[in-house]
Amino acid sequence: MKFLTNRRKFLSLTTAATGWLLTPVWAQNDSPPRPRKRGGPGGRGRRDARDYVLPPELAEFSLLSLVLGRVSDHSVTVSSVARTTLEGYFEYGTSAGNYPNRTALAEFAAGHPVETVFAGLQPDTEYFYQFHYRAPGETDFKTRAECRFHTQRAGGSSFMFTIQGDSHPERPQMSDPDLYARTLLQVAASKPDFHICMGDDFSVAPVREVNYAAVAERYTLQRPFLGLVAQSAPVFLLNGNHEQASLFNFNQADDRHAVAVLAQTARNQFYPTPAPDGFYGGDTEPLKDIGLRKDYCAWSWGDALFVILDNYWHSPVQVDSGFHEEEGGGGGGKNGRRDRDWWSLTLGDTQYHWFKRTLEQSRAKYKFVFAHHVLGSGRGGVDECDLFEWGGRNKRGDWEFNQRRPGWEMPVHQLMVKHGVTIFFQGHDHLYCQQSADGIVYQEVPMPADQGYMTYNEDRYQSGVKLPNSGYLRVTVSPEHVKVDYIRSFLPKDESAQNKTGDLAHSYTVKPRGQHA
């Protein structure tokens, strides 16, 4: 899609593509936004939620945010957050403009997430829905623009999904809200079956007083943006290091424990995240004060298996930078962690053995694995895949796996090779890079909103196709092959004949294992 820079055309396109969205957090208490702060070079600036809002062209569509999730063969969940208290109901059906199914009238209290389940759906079917709403005491209902979604695809079907890298809204130097909105509008216009976020989307770095409202705000500020896509494409979230939702923090006796509990709780309240239920596999072990973490999970769609791993909730040591440390990522920070024992970073026994069983039991033609990073810390893709529990060797090249991971069949990379993983996707490193090792594509996912269009950490990628931010990945799965497209995004002032929003920057295909790409 070529983005229209003319304001009137832009607004028209926006209306058709997205309907209207959740108001920013500031609007819930009727306070106007402060002017946005613009930072200089670097990545460690901080900004609060009031400075990260949708562009003016989208503001009038900010009454309500709808976010789909937990889609399956027979149901989908709609999470709704209203700016002001409303009452309303949904209608849905399999034909545009025709909605034979209707939910009960319900109250949508201001600022509180309300989940509505559309049940009894048909598999491999496109559905359309509308929301009808009114303020309490009013007689007539208003109607939101029609949205759509698709239930689980059957084997042999073709479908498309999208992926975004780290959005980092807290960092003014590498996350512009206008650019973020442009990227997400492109995603929405492509009509993916679902959208995957690779982590570092809900950083708690700006939180100074640890309480539920402050931590939850990191999750609510994203809803106006992710709702651009997620009202019609169920969203799946990965946990990044900057969310600070981790076992190490949970085990502390200070504010870090509260941060871990509140971050995971807010995530699961404001986004309909999947739990093990027969359709989804995942983490069945509850934690005190949280319940089910809903951190790692797996599901099948068409000819593909999807597996999301969590780098942080099963490692007893601090994996990356800690709460209110220098948060550049990559294993730095205080306390000399660059010299630590990297074998102490782990997916944990339970998650590893679940992952192993999931791969063993799948007969999918394609297998996609997602994690925030190979090790959850450090930098690089295939350059790191031979190290520690991921590849079995220490940094000197010595094989230590057997003594350091007793009870594990083989390192994570070798396990993926054995079971025919097609692509491993990761974020964290803030660039686009496609690499391969032992028949597996290692794909670093670009940032969606970096107005500097940088290629961060490219020196840690010694091979592959490296390209700068910003944009998203569009992945098309067919019986013949998987096609991955990197679609670029630019601010209007930065566009040129060579650089336009919607440009295809790089593309490649991967055939099923056993065939040559």
Range with the poorest average pLDDT among 15-24, 81-90, 133-142, 361-370? 15-24
Find the mean pLDDT for residues 372-379. 95
Q: What is the pLDDT of residues 174-219, one digit of tens each?
A: 999 999 999 999 999 999 999 999 999 999 999 999 999 999 999 9
User: What pTM did the predictor assign?
Assistant: 0.90
Q: What is the pLDDT of residues 295-306, one digit of tens each?
A: 999 999 999 999
Find the mean pLDDT for residues 332-350. 77
pLDDT at 43 over 90: no
Cα–Cα dist 483/119, whole Å: 32
Q: What is the pLDDT of residue 153?
A: 98
Find the mean pLDDT for residues 374-394. 96
pLDDT at 45 over 90: no
Domain boundaries, the chain: 7-150, 159-480
Q: What is the pLDDT of residues 148-180, one digit of tens each?
A: 999 999 999 999 999 999 999 999 999 999 999
Domain 159-480 -> CATH class:
alpha beta
**How far is the CA of 16 from the CAs of 61, 68, 144, 149, 473, in angstroms?**
11, 19, 12, 16, 22
More confident residue, 116 or 332: 116
SS3 508: strand
Q: Which residue matches tokens 């782990």? A: 346
Peptide bond before residue 80 is cis, with ω within 30 degrees of 0: no
DSSP 414-469: HHHHHTT--EEEE-SS-SEEEEEETTEEEEEPPPS--TT---TTGGG--SSEEE-S
Q: What is the pLDDT of residues 219-274, one digit of tens each?
A: 999 999 999 999 999 999 999 999 999 999 999 999 999 999 999 999 999 999 99
CB 79 within 8 A of CB 115: yes
Q: What is the pLDDT of residues 397-416, one digit of tens each?
A: 999 999 999 999 999 999 99
> How does residue 58 score in pLDDT terms, banded at 50, 70 and 90?
confident
Percent of the chain's residues with pLDDT above 90: 83
> How does residue 324 score in pLDDT terms, banded at 50, 70 and 90?
confident
Residue 222: closest CA among 280, 174, 269, 180:
180
Q: What is the pLDDT of residue 326?
A: 54
More confident residue, 509 or 338: 509
Range with the poorest average pLDDT among 25-34, 114-123, 371-380? 25-34
Q: What is the pLDDT of residue 410?
A: 98
More confident residue, 465 or 64: 465
Find the mean pLDDT for residues 26-50. 43
CB 97 within 8 A of CB 78: no
Q: Which CATH superfamily is domain 7-150 in?
A: Immunoglobulins (2.60.40.10)
Q: What is the pLDDT of residues 425-461, one digit of tens each?
A: 999 999 999 999 999 999 999 999 999 999 999 999 9
The set of long-range contacts for 34-39, using a CB threshold of 8 Å and a minimum separation of 24, is: 36/172, 36/177, 37/172, 38/172, 39/171, 39/172, 39/173
Q: What is the pLDDT of residue 56?
A: 83
CB 432 within 8 A of CB 466: yes
pLDDT at 467 over 60: yes
Cα–Cα dist 423/443, whole Å: 7
pLDDT at 353 over 50: yes
Percent of the chain's residues with pLDDT above 70: 87
